[in-house]
Structures are given as C-alpha cells and as structure tokens.
Structure 1
Amino acid sequence: MTTIQSAAAPPISTNASHVVIGDEISSHRKRPIDEFTESATKRMKPDFSHQMYSRLIRSALDSLDQGDFSAIDTLTSQVNMNPAKSDSLSIGSITVILRLLNQEISRLDNRATTPLIQALLNYNWLGHLENPAFVKSYSTFLTVLVSGIPKWFNEVVSKLVSGFTSKTDTELYQLHKTLKYLIQISPTSFNLLPLILRDKFPNKAAPMDDMVNYTKNLLALLSYCDDLRYPIWSLIVEKLINLDVELQNQIDDVDDDDLDAALNDDEESNARATDNDISAMSDISTVVASDAINDICDAEEVASDMDNDEDDDDSLMDDEENYNAEIHSISDLSAKLDSIMKLIFEKTESSFTPEGLESGNGVKLFSTLTSIFKLYVLPTHYTRCVQYLMFHMVQQQPDLTDSFLVVLLDVVFNATEIIANRIKAMQYVSSFMARAKGLSKEQLLSVMKYLMAWCNEYVTEREKEVGDGNGGMDRFKMLYCVLQGLMYIFCFRYKDLKKEDNDEEWELRLDKFFNKMIVSKFNPLKYCNESVVLIFARIVQNVDMCYCFSIIEKNKRERLNGVRNASANSDSSENRFESKQEFLDLEAYFPFDPLMLKNSKKIVNTNYIEWQSSDDSEDSE
C-alpha cells in the first residue's frame, strides 16, 4: 500500500519551503529512504516526532495546489482503515491530523478533500473517551469545520444527533457539549436543525429504548437552546399522535380480554397466549386425525379430505398468527407511547411548580404546549392518550387550569372556527370538567354558568326556527353539543352542584335550566348521545330534579314511526325522518375516558375522577 509519507516524499525533497525536513532526512543518510517511509505506515512510535508527521501532512496539503491528490487519498485510506489492523493509524496520529487540519481548515474547502473529511466524520470518536486530548481535538475539529466551511453543518450535526438514541451519559455529555457550541457559532442552525432532528427521530417500528432516549435528548437540547422549544415539542407531540392513532386503529380489531393482556404485557398473559397457541394446534391435529380414521376405508376420500383439512388448517394457523401479531403490535405500541409520556411527565414536573412558573420557564412551556395542542391534538380524530399530557399538566396550578379552559372555550364559541373543531373543543371542555379532580368548585360553576347562559340565549333566539322547513336539525348541532356536555358534567359532578348551605337547592338553578332545555322544541334528549341521555335521565330522577323517561319513550315512538314513514315515502325528502345519526359520529367522543397506559395512568390518576354509578344495581360501565 502506498503511504501518505511516500506519496508526499517527492514534494518534500524538491520543495524549498521544506528544507528543514530535507535536512532531517539527510541526517539519516545511513538509513535507506524506503525504510524511513515504510516506518511511517505503521503506528506512530515514540521516536517518530509529531512535528515531522505534521510536516508530512502539510506537504500532502501543499501537493493539492499542484494537482497531486495521491497523498491526501492515501491519508484518507489510512483514516478509513479498521483500527484493529496493525498498520492502522494510532489515536496519537489521528490527534496530530486533527490538530493540523484545525489550523488549515480553509484548505479543506476542496472537492479532493471531501473523502478525507467524510472519513474523519465517520470515525468513532466517542469510543476513545479515555483520551481527553483526542476527544478535545476531535470536538474542536467539528466546530472549526462548520465555522470555516458552513456547508458541512448538516453532516456534522447529523452525526451528533444520531447518537441521541443509544449513547451512554458520558458520551452524551460530549455530544451535547459539542452541539451546543455548534449552535452558538452557526447562525443558520435554527433553520436547519429542526429538519435534522425530525429526520433522525426513530420511526414507530424502532426499538422502544431508541425512541425514549431520543426524546430524552431532545429535551436535554432544550436546556441550552430554548429557541428551538416550539419545533422540538411539535416534533415530540406529532410522534406521540402517530403512535396513538396507530394504536387505536389496531385496538378496534382485538377482543377485550386480549387487549387487557396486551396493554399490561405481563408474563402470565404471555404464558396464556402461548398455551392458546398450543391448544389451537392440538385441536387442529385432533381434527385431522379424526377425519383420517373415519374415512380410512376409502383411500381417495382420505387423500382428498386430508388435502382440504390441510388447507383449512393453514388458513386457521395464518389467522391465528396474524391475530397474535396484532396483539404483539398493540403491546409494543402502547409500551412506547407509555414510556415517552411517562418521561415527559417526569421531565416537565418542575416547570409547573410555583417556582417554575415564577421563573418563566413553566409559562413558556405551557404556552408552547397549548398552541401545539390546538394545532395538532384537537383536530386529530379520536386520540385516546396524547391529550393526557395537557390534562395532567394544567391541573398542577389553578391558573393553568383557568387558562386551558379559556383556550378551549374560545374555540367553542369562535364563529370563524370550523364546526368540527368547535365540537371537539366542547367535548374536551365537558370531559375535562367531568374528570379533573383538581378543578375547584368555583371553576366548575364559573364555566357551567357561562355555558348555560349561552344555551339560554341560543334557545330564546332560535327556537322559532325548529320545524320552519329551512333545514334539518343539524343546523343546531352546536347547541346539542353544549347541552350534551352539560349533561355529561352533571352526571359526574352532581354531588358538587348542590348548594352548601341548603342541599335541597341546586347551584345556578340547574333544575330550572335542565327542565327548560328538555321541554324546548330542540328536544335534546332525542339528538344527544344515547348513553349520556340515559345515564343523565336516571340520575336526575334519583335526585328528584326532573323526569326524562316519558320524553325518551315518546322520542322512541316517533323514531319508529319516522322510520316507517321514511320507508313508505323513500322518494319524498319532505317526509324523511330526522335521524339521530346525524350527530353521533362527532358527539360520541369523550377525550378523557380512562387512560389505557399502565405507567402513565398511575401518574394521571392522582388528579383523575373515576366513574361511580349512582345505582349499585346498574353496571358502572
């Protein structure tokens, strides 16, 4: 192999600027020149001075000006060489190279030196933490390279960020130390870094540890680069939503018992799954054997039946394998989602203490997460887990709870918002107020009073429109959503809604309000979610507030008659029945139904109200 020293030798012996090197060589006249250059290909020895090695490298750089790339190519080959080989460069040699290149960085802005830079970037520098001099030289090289030749920013930062998934704490310290300085010296980093962070985020099929570690290091990056707060939190929440949506899609196809086992992921459930596999295969074998015995007198039928049985067995086994794969995928996705959310709960806890809010960190974080919630979480169709980040955080301080509810109510009653977002926001308001243990009675009454006032005004102004022939009942969808929210809140909170000084009277005159709404022409018991209506009807009857079942029965009769009329007059749009289904698709959603992630649930449950049936004889579910 041609060595850097032999490749660089001709310029050294003829270049006047390197007389010193020539003199040093002449002092070794008794040693053959080929022996001298051969020794340079081996690991650096104590008698081969760093100064001489530096001059040889400078000579290689000088040769670039003369169009000779051989010395640089040789150096690149040596840097790329497997460190386990005897003739590979030592750490001392690599350190010399780095220190020299740090001084000559402008000369590396050359197409011929690109492979050398790439080879150095690929070098496992964190594998030599026991050598502080080398680590410092390497870190300096990265920062000088980006400072002198900005086009290398992407590759250098990508190298550092790639280590976010699996490095040790000591290695991560060096990564973040270097990355921090790169961000400080590179004014374009705020445009490029978010793209790199997004590109390097492990996909949902990656190991759980990689995803958790990457998220942990994104949060660590925020400790010294707060200006990236919004893009980093947006990225994290987006990835959580992707996991959440994927998890919900798979849950729909799984039995409840198997789902519980998958979400808890315990050894016993795994053992049961294995036993089920064994039992299924045993059953298949029994069927095949039985068929063979029954048809043994007819060889052709035996062969035919066995072929059919084998096809059935293969199909059954394929279905079983696919189902087990779904169970495993649910377990994997839920574990990843659970671990990342648990990490976020723990890392953000100090931000929402009085001290954290006083310092400003908590306020900025809350503002960021609220904006991201409105932009990403609120419009997403039926997430079940990621919204609990806000649910838990905003209950840490009353002011945060107030702010969160104001943000939601602003969407609910913002006429410029699309109706889907307004409805979803109202679902969040009602579900939060029903489930949030940290919500004070004053906050509860304040929001309910606001919602009730809006409903009263709406009914007064628009009740005359019901049945006017200018449209269906979906025109009033927002009213039904708000009324359903109030009924839902009442089902959870009715014990808190009695006056403290007189438990026979209701706060806000709720009894009069609900009676007025129920008998109005809007007939909310007909168009709101059936489960909410039935539970509400039972509770208000038990507490002697009002009686709903007569209206519910009347609605059922009208519905049946409407279906019959619609069938008899299927071509007449005027007689078509106003179907309750118009509202179910959007309104049968309760964002803070019980969380299914076992570790995050333990954290959330400290401020979570579980459903308690008002009648022990009824199923609490």
Structure 2
Amino acid sequence: MLGSSPMPSSILKTSKPFLPSTPGTVASKRKMMDIDMSSSPPSSAASDASGDVPSPKKRPRVQFSEPDVEMRVDSGEKSAAVIREEVRRAIQRHLAGADSEAYDRVKEIFSADPRRTDDDGVPSHATLKHHLMGLLANVASLDRSCSGLVHAVLGSQWLGRDEPYVKLYIRFLGNLAAAQGSYLGSVLKMLVNYLGAVPKGTGRLPGYAPVSNSEIYARTHMALHYVMQLIPAGSGALSPILSMQFPFATDSAKANIAYTRNLIKVIEYAPELQADILALITEKLVKIDVQIQVDMEDFEDEIGEDLVQDVELAEDDNSDNESVMSGDSVDVEAQRFKAVKDNIRKLDFMIDTLFEYYAPPFTTGTLDDKENALDLLLSHFQSIILPTYRSRHSQFLLFHFSQSSPILVDRFATTCIQLIFNKLQPGITRQSAAAYLASFVARGAHVSSEVVRDVFDLLGTHMNNLRMEYEGTCRGPDLRRYAPFYSTAQALLYIFCFRWRDLTTAALENDGVDDDLDLDDVTFPPAIREVLHQAIYSKLNPLKVCSPAIVSEFARIAHHLRLLYVFPLLETNKRLRVSSFRSISAMADPRFSQIERETRAGDDGGYQLDAYFPFDPYHLPRSRRWLEGDYVEWRGIPGVDDQDDSDSEMEEDEEEISDDETGTESD
C-alpha cells in the first residue's frame, strides 16, 4: 500500500547498469564483431611488424596480428618490406628536421581521393595497404610532430574498402591510440562521426564491392570496440564526444534515428557509459518533443492531429527523402509542415528505440533488475523531464514501465509525493510533480483502487494543511503566493474526474471498482466531501484559479453524484477578478510564468493554472504500441452529457471558454 511504502533514500543515486539482451541494429553482421581480444596489446612497435596479413579465406575471424612482409607483388609494385623501410626513413627524416619530402609523399598517398578518375593521382590498393603496414610498424614514432600524416590517415576512405584492409586499419587505430595517447580523441571523433547519417559515397569506392550502411555501422562499432578494449579508460574521452557529435535537432530524422540506435549499441561494449548515453538521448528527446509542441500551436487542432497521423511509418535508412525542399518549389507553409512531420517521425522512432532498450529488465528481469532500471528512469525524470514544461511524450517511458508491477507503481507515486511535500524544492518543481502524480494516478490502467485512494488521501491532507497555513493571511485567490495549494487542489479535482469510482464507499468495501455500480446508490466517505468542501469554500477559492476546463467537469460530476453543488460559486467567480487580490510584493518563483496560462482576453488569464497533465493521450503512430492496455480512457457518465464524451472535453483549449469564465466586475 502506498502509504506504508518506504521512501527511496536517494532518487538520484547511480543505478547499476542493466544490459538488455536485445539484438542490435547490426546483428546480421556479427561475424564482423568476432575480434580476438584475448591477447594483450603489443609491448612495442617492433613487435607489431613481425607478421603478414592472413587471408580471409583461410582465417575468417578478425585477427589483428601484424601481417607478414609480402616479398613478391604484382609487376610495377614495390614490396611491402621496401615500402615499410621507406616509410620509416621518411618519418625519421621528418622528425630530425632534415627533409620532409618523402614524409609529404606518404601523406599524399592517404590524402588522395580514391574516387578521382585520373589513375596517376590515386594510389593502388596494394600501395595504400603497404604504406599503412609501414605506419603500423612505426606507430611509436608518430608523435605530435607527425599530426599532419596521422590526420591524413584518419581522414582517408577506409570503410568502403575490402575486409582485410578494414581489419588492418582498425589494428592501426588501436595501436596508435594506445601508443600515442594524444591522438585518442581524434580517433574516437572520427569513428563517432560515422554513427549518424553516413556521408555520401562512403561505401561506394571504385574497384570495391558496395558496402551497405549497416555494414559501415558494424565496421565502425568493431573499431570502437577494439579501441575501448585496448584503452579501458578511453570511455572517459568517448562520453563527451558522443554528446558533442549528436545530430542537431534541425538535422534529418534519418540522422537522429541512426545515431540514437548506434548509441544504444555502444552500451553493449561500454556498459560504464550506460547512464551517460541514456541521459543524452533523453535530453535530446525532450528538446525535440518541446519543439514539436511549440510548432504545433501554430496550426489548427485538426491540422495538428493530421500531422501526427500522416507521419510515415516506413523505415528506409537508405532513402534520400530527407532532403530539404527549396523555397522555389514549395511555399513557406509547406516547409513548416514538412519540418514538423520530420520532427514527429524523429521523436517517434527515437522514443521507440528507448522503449525497446528498457523493456527486457522489466519483462524478464528480476526485481533487482526492474528497480535498477526504474532508478535510472527516475533519475532522468527528475533531472531532465520534470523541469521541462511542455514535454509531451518523453515521460511515457515512466508511465509504461512504472506500471510493470505494483511495487514500481508505488515507487513512482512515492517519488512524486516526496517532491510535492519537500519545501526545499523549487516551487515550479513541486507544482509539476503534482501534475505528474495526478495524471499518472488518473490515467494509469494498472494503478489499483487502493493506490488511488491512498494518493487522494495524502494529497487531501497536504492540501488541508496548506489551506490552514495560508488562509490566515489570504485576502483572495492568488496563484503566485499560494501556488502549492492550487496545484494540489487541481491534482485532486483531476483525479476525481477520472477515478471517482475508486473513491466511492462501494470501492472501499469491495477493495475495487464495481462495474455494475448503480449511480443512484453512489456514496463517498465523509472525509472526501469534507476536505473538498473546506478547500473550495475557503478564501483561497481554488475553483477561480484552477483550470476552467477541469473545474467545469468536476462541477458537473460532483453535482450528478450528489457530492457537492458548486455552480453558484462558479457564477460568483465570474464577477471576481483575481488581479484584485494579487500582491506584487509577494511574488513567488518567476518560473511559475512557464506553467501559467498566457494572458488572454480578460483580466484573469495570466493567473489561472494551466490544464497541463503530462499523460494526456499518446498518438505517436509507431511507439504507441507500447502503451496498449496501459491507459484509462475518459468515460462519460450517463445523464451528465447528452453527447458522446471524449478526452477532447478534458483537453479543451482554455481560450474557447475564457469568455464564459471571466467577469467584468471586481469584488
């Protein structure tokens, strides 16, 4: 039972990593990930130069032992041994400051574009491979004085070449990063650059079989995995690079979706980065989510719904339909539509990826696995989602997974209650926590009747305590001075509208809701009527400050169920100006302006609570599959409405009813 549940000692504690056993996006390329990591890194550069590249036909597993010298090559080509010696001499003469001509020639070999049509300027495959072998043999000499050559190699085209060259190149990257730590950041940044949208032409090099995007991602992960195993401390350098390289919100959906999925793949071989990576993805999700809500306000409601429904569900990583339309071909309005639809698709696929990642511990894990996963979600909720107004979809990760078991339902509800009751928390945080708790309890299909009653009782007691604290100095309704009271009152009204059946005497006696409940026999425990009546008819007058849409619905239901008759008070409130009692000297946290209604026609517009409840219906076409069975839909009461009830009634825009709710006379 919620009331007896222990409060979490530290919501923000670092949770143990959990590693879902879901297949990665590049699972079909697992053979590329078969790296022999059992041997320790070579102790010296000399030991790297002892062997020859094994034939992939003879040894299909990736072996990064140093290739032997090829003493015989095609006519006109220098042997590997000769080129290796030339590379060594070029580096030594450059370091000595004697002559850099040979050094520059080596650099040009890796700088040459393999897609050039003139054969004279493009080194052959054998030449390129032998020079790379020479650099690998002399990696200990490639200090900062050779940064030009090293960056030429890092910038060369390697992902589109054959498998033996890719393995040799990855071996070079690992040895370079291990022997010359100053290049670790450059190596990681180059590799991370290939985790988003693949640069055009990367897998299409003359003389080589085409390499698909999935193969390119597999090769990139193979390289990152190898470097991370050689340099365990490298994750400290990798984390900020992953954050810095995340595609911008204005980049294509394809780039953001690919990068998100590849970040999840990184967790498999760098589990110590789990918390950082998931927090990064969540932060980006919330920013995109908020931007969508801002953009959608520019469209009519019907158009906004069509935008969501029209999002393309088909996934095509190789398509080029992400191109930006020019102003010559479409008008500005069409470009805005496309930008919003692209963001919706981006958000839908990214959050779906997180649902897939988090699911295993909640579905097949132990209780410890579930609690560790929830700890991580709760930490991101408190640090990223909760402080962000207008987040619309990101929080549904909590909504879904918190309902996995009664214990987890209790954990999430308890976390919100802690925030609401904690006077050390910023006012806006306590206000938002009340909205989240009310919405979770009202909308969660797996939230039991017992939890509904416990939460209602706790919030009712808290509201009553606030009423007694504020009423002595109260001159009238004032959102800025008494925001904790009003946010708690609105939470109670919202819960009542959706879950009044769970609050009835019959539900209490039967430990659950009776589906055959006779409305004529509905009664409520006296404590419920008492706490609501005292608050509603106090000087604080919450029905004037709470969202008109919620107040109106509560008034109709409470009247029909013979709980309270508040319509005369609503009529009186129409003639009451909230601004008459506003105390400028007692203004609270200015961030309340983020959650108040914008000032509209009439005097009270800016001083009423927003009807923001974060678990309103979820419509993203792909990811909504995760929420099937999780949701309490709005159910009308026969006799209250003459038309079909729907969620739109509870989500009615306040602008449409402000003229009916706002009076013209004070006092």
Are the equivalent residues in 2 in contact too, given 1:254–1:327 (CA < 8 A)? no
Distance (whole Å) between structure 1 residues aligned to residue 271 and residue 114 of structure 2 = 39
Question: Which residue of 1 is the match for residue 85 of structure 2?
Answer: 55
Q: Which structure has the larger Rg? A: 1
Q: Which moved more, 1:416-425 or 1:55-64?
A: 55-64
Are the equivalent residues in 2 in contact too, given 1:105–1:145 (CA < 8 A)? yes
Partner SS for 2:249: coil
Give the superposition deviation at 1:57: 2.6
Are the equivalent residues in 2 in contact too, given 1:466–1:473 (CA < 8 A)? no
Distance (whole Å) between structure 2 residues aligned to residue 481 and residue 330 of structure 1 = 32
Partner SS for 2:159: helix
Give the superposition deviation at 1:160: 0.9
Partner SS for 2:615: coil
Distance (whole Å) between structure 1 residues aligned to residue 478 and residue 343 of structure 2 = 42
Give the superposition deviation at 1:494: 1.0
Question: Which residue of 1 is the match for residue 627 of structure 2?
Answer: 604
2:134 to 96, 100, 115: 100
Question: Which residue of 1 is the match for residue 297 of structure 2?
Answer: 252
* 1:491 aligned onto 2:497: yes
Post-superposition CA distance 1:391-423 (Å, at most 9, x none): 222222332222222222111111111111111
Give the superposition deviation at 1:581: 4.3
**TM-score, structure 1 normalization:** 0.75
Question: Which residue of 2 is the match for residue 410 of structure 1?
Answer: 418
Distance (whole Å) between structure 1 residues aligned to residue 246 and residue 137 of structure 2 = 34
Give the superposition deviation at 1:558: 4.2
Question: Which residue of 2 is the match for residue 277 of structure 1?
Answer: none
Question: Which residue of 1 is the match for residue 343 of structure 2?
Answer: 333
Question: Which residue of 2 is the match for residue 348 of structure 1?
Answer: 358
Distance (whole Å) between structure 2 residues aligned to residue 263 and residue 450 of structure 1 = 38
Give the superposition deviation at 1:76: 1.6
* 1:419 aligned onto 2:427: yes
Q: Which moved more, 1:61-70 or 1:233-242?
A: 61-70
Question: Which residue of 1 is the match for residue 123 of structure 2?
Answer: 89
How many pairs were matched up?
Answer: 509
Aligned in 2, Cα 1:594/1:473: closer, same or farther, shift over 3 Å?
Answer: closer
Partner SS for 1:455: helix
* 1:135 aligned onto 2:166: yes
1:115 to 101, 123, 148: 148
Question: Which residue of 1 is the match for residue 642 of structure 2?
Answer: 617
Aligned in 2, Cα 1:426/1:441: closer, same or farther, shift over 3 Å?
Answer: same
Distance (whole Å) between structure 2 residues aligned to residue 552 and residue 65 of structure 1 = 86
Partner SS for 2:365: helix
Question: Which residue of 2 is the match for residue 242 of structure 1?
Answer: 287
Post-superposition CA distance 1:406-448 (Å, at most 9, x none): 2221111111111111111111111111111121222222222
Aligned in 2, Cα 1:434/1:45: closer, same or farther, shift over 3 Å?
Answer: farther
* 1:531 aligned onto 2:531: no
Question: Which residue of 1 is the match for residue 538 of structure 2?
Answer: 520
Post-superposition CA distance 1:115-155 (Å, at most 9, x none): 322221122222124x33x2221111001111111111121
* 1:381 aligned onto 2:389: yes
Q: Which moved more, 1:454-463 or 1:499-508?
A: 499-508
Are the equivalent residues in 2 in contact too, given 1:54–1:97 (CA < 8 A)? yes
Question: Which residue of 2 is the match for residue 371 of structure 1?
Answer: 379
Are the equivalent residues in 1 in contact too, given 2:441–2:495 (CA < 8 A)? yes
Are the equivalent residues in 2 in contact too, given 1:258–1:327 (CA < 8 A)? no
Distance (whole Å) between structure 1 residues aligned to residue 335 and residue 218 of structure 2 = 39
Distance (whole Å) between structure 1 residues aligned to residue 619 and residue 95 of structure 2 = 66
* 1:207 aligned onto 2:207: no
For residues 384-463 of structure 1, the aligned pairs below 5 Å read: 384-463=392-471
AA of the residue aligned to 1:60: A
AA of the residue aligned to 2:102: A
Give the superposition deviation at 1:340: 0.9
1:71 to 95, 102, 119: 102
Partner SS for 1:223: helix
Distance (whole Å) between structure 1 residues aligned to residue 565 and residue 462 of structure 2 = 24
Question: Which residue of 2 is the match for residue 545 of structure 1?
Answer: 563
AA of the residue aligned to 1:239: K
AA of the residue aligned to 1:415: K
Distance (whole Å) between structure 2 residues aligned to residue 330 and residue 73 of structure 1 = 49
Give the superposition deviation at 1:347: 2.2
Give the superposition deviation at 1:221: 0.7
Aligned in 2, Cα 1:597/1:57: closer, same or farther, shift over 3 Å?
Answer: same
For residues 565-576 of structure 1, the aligned pairs below 5 Å read: none
Distance (whole Å) between structure 2 residues aligned to residue 487 and residue 587 of structure 1 = 14
2:616 to 593, 615, 619: 593
Are the equivalent residues in 1 in contact too, given 2:139–2:175 (CA < 8 A)? yes
Are the equivalent residues in 1 in contact too, given 2:77–2:127 (CA < 8 A)? no
Partner SS for 1:126: coil
Give the superposition deviation at 1:491: 0.2
Are the equivalent residues in 2 in contact too, given 1:164–1:172 (CA < 8 A)? yes
Structure 2 unpaired stretches of 5+: 1-72, 199-211, 313-326, 511-520, 582-601, 650-667
Give the superposition deviation at 1:542: 1.3
Are the equivalent residues in 2 in contact too, given 1:263–1:334 (CA < 8 A)? yes
Distance (whole Å) between structure 1 residues aligned to residue 79 and residue 544 of structure 2 = 92
Partner SS for 2:247: coil
**TM-score, structure 2 normalization:** 0.70
Distance (whole Å) between structure 1 residues aligned to residue 77 and residue 492 of structure 2 = 86
Partner SS for 1:606: coil
Distance (whole Å) between structure 1 residues aligned to residue 552 and residue 74 of structure 2 = 85
Structure 1 unpaired stretches of 5+: 1-42, 268-316, 567-577
Aligned in 2, Cα 1:504/1:102: closer, same or farther, shift over 3 Å?
Answer: same
Aligned in 2, Cα 1:91/1:186: closer, same or farther, shift over 3 Å?
Answer: same
* 1:222 aligned onto 2:240: no
AA of the residue aligned to 1:353: T
Give the superposition deviation at 1:356: 5.5
Structure showing the higher helix proportion among its residues:
1
Question: Which residue of 2 is the match for residue 295 of structure 1?
Answer: none
Give the superposition deviation at 1:197: 1.0
Aligned in 2, Cα 1:449/1:123: closer, same or farther, shift over 3 Å?
Answer: same
AA of the residue aligned to 2:187: V
Question: Which residue of 1 is the match for residue 589 of structure 2?
Answer: none
Distance (whole Å) between structure 2 residues aligned to residue 326 and residue 126 of structure 1 = 36
Distance (whole Å) between structure 2 residues aligned to residue 388 and residue 263 of structure 1 = 17
Question: Which residue of 2 is the match for residue 302 of structure 1?
Answer: none
AA of the residue aligned to 1:593: D
Distance (whole Å) between structure 1 residues aligned to residue 241 and residue 612 of structure 2 = 36
Aligned in 2, Cα 1:104/1:345: closer, same or farther, shift over 3 Å?
Answer: same
Give the aligned CA root-mean-square deviation in angstroms: 3.0
* 1:231 aligned onto 2:281: no
AA of the residue aligned to 1:123: S
Aligned in 2, Cα 1:321/1:64: closer, same or farther, shift over 3 Å?
Answer: closer
Give the superposition deviation at 1:534: 1.0
Post-superposition CA distance 1:42-88 (Å, at most 9, x none): x9549843223323333333433551211111122122223355343
Question: Which residue of 2 is the match for residue 149 of structure 1?
Answer: 180
Distance (whole Å) between structure 1 residues aligned to residue 547 and residue 409 of structure 2 = 27
